[in-house]
Structure 1
């Protein structure tokens, strides 16, 4: 009997209203390739909860939980119905103990969505879809907000990991952890996404017991997840790896693959990000 496994993914879609056809296409193509995505965490929905396409996704075979806001931000968790344990056979029971935003941190920006999910043949997994602040520039108020947000996130995750040792943090982190994750480190020196403070915050997450799943495996050099729309960034592979799947120690030992799927970035009217995927066994 084949050991159960799940494929979890994160994708900053840069407007779900615009990118819903791509999301559905990608999910369907993964299904046809016999590599279904069991849980997909989206970032930058850029729409309010009442505009979220629950029906279209449900008709395609997926349940959704979303935390949206007008024009900016917004996160979601999408679950493949066929992958869920029988006890999670409807929307109400698919997402257990949901949390919206960082508890105790007053913030109108919708950046965190968490829920416990029961997949077939697997122990429950705590899944967190996260859209980290961009930070704009190290001398800006937005950067100060980012550092505060990162500190609040770390404090919350420390407690979450005690309660949920099987935890996955997925999303657009807006942090390139090392120079190997940047196409031109010299050109980016002194800017946000690569600053010492941001990279220290990323290391802080790993010290909690979260592991960068991508670096568990030998990877092709110059593998990125984001490319600027300007100056033919994707064509030149002038990108950065800022989308990540961090796994707790328990899940790290179960991870058998972690990749970036660049294919959707080649499609017409794409997001500037590509999906990142990790596969976890029971």
Structure 2
């Protein structure tokens, strides 16, 4: 089995003890991290290597940032910018070949408040992602698009749909953009495994969201057709959200045969 995980760490240096504890416990083979909130030179490579992982990363001071970790498979970085806007300097995209799979680690823009410039940037970013995802499929190789998509695809993925009608994570335009990706031939791995279950990956720090299970499912694996039959299991390490000084996301994982 090949275990692949995604985790919006919400500040890799602030949450490093949590990350290291989870890595030791879960032992994923490949990990995609988002929201590092650290420039490249402050990535804790020594600690990551001591935990048994090699890494490639793309950081940014204070905001954003993505990384791919591998426990034993070789990593070859392919790119760290999403094509389509040469002026976009936000560190939200990292692409690498890990073993024999193209791994894309992404951190989609939040887009709030709606309406506004941030929301328009989000839609443009999704448009660029959709165009590039189509090209990746055309290469006819195994690919996984992994990370924080900042979208709840359906009403099953949000604890109070009516509350989020005009939120940038649930606007019809953003959900349509995510659905457009699926229609290219990608499979939402967690929803494919659990078509009717309520599953959350994020619980806000405010209003006792964790204690009330007032969550959202915004961290996703989109797998290419090559991998659909290899998909075996998946889940959310929900208990990690309850640890001290933890992220507001929980790690999510899938296993491939």
TM-score (norm 1): 0.88
Residue 147 of structure 2 is aligned to residue 171 of structure 1: yes
Do 2:108 and 2:149's aligned partners in 1 also have CA atoms closer than 8 Å?
A: yes
Query: Aligned ranges for residues 217-228 of structure 1 at < 5 Å?
Result: 217-218=193-194, 221-228=197-204
Q: Which runs of 5+ in 1 are unaligned?
A: 31-35, 85-93, 119-123
Displacement of 1:59 after TM fit? 1.4
Superposed displacement of residue 267, structure 1: 0.2
1:97 Cα offset (Å): 4.6
Query: 2:75 — aligned with what?
Result: 95
SS at match of 1:190: coil
Larger radius of gyration, structure 1 or 2?
Answer: 1
CA distance in 1: counterparts of 2:60 and 2:71, whole angstroms: 24
Q: Aligned to 1:6, which of 2, 6, 24?
A: 2
Number of aligned positions between the proteins: 256
SS of the equivalent of 1:73 reads coil
Q: Distance in 2 between matches of 1:218 and 1:156?
A: 28
Q: Secondary structure at the residue paired with 2:3?
A: strand
**Aligned-pair Cα RMSD in Å:** 1.2
For residues 143 and 252 of structure 1, the distance between their equivalents in structure 2, rounded to whole angstroms, comes to 32
Query: Structure 1: how far apart are the matches of 2:230 and 2:197?
Result: 24
The corresponding residue for 2:129 is 153
The aligned residue for residue 70 of structure 1 is 61
Deviation at 1:187? 1.3
Alignment of 1:1-282 (within 5 A): 5-30=1-26, 36-81=27-72, 84=73, 94-106=74-86, 107-118=88-99, 124-218=100-194, 221-281=197-257
Question: What displacement does 1:191 show?
Answer: 1.6
8 Å Cα contact 2:9-2:33 kept in structure 1? yes
Query: TM-score by structure 2 length?
Result: 0.96
Q: Which runs of 5+ in 2 are unaligned?
A: none
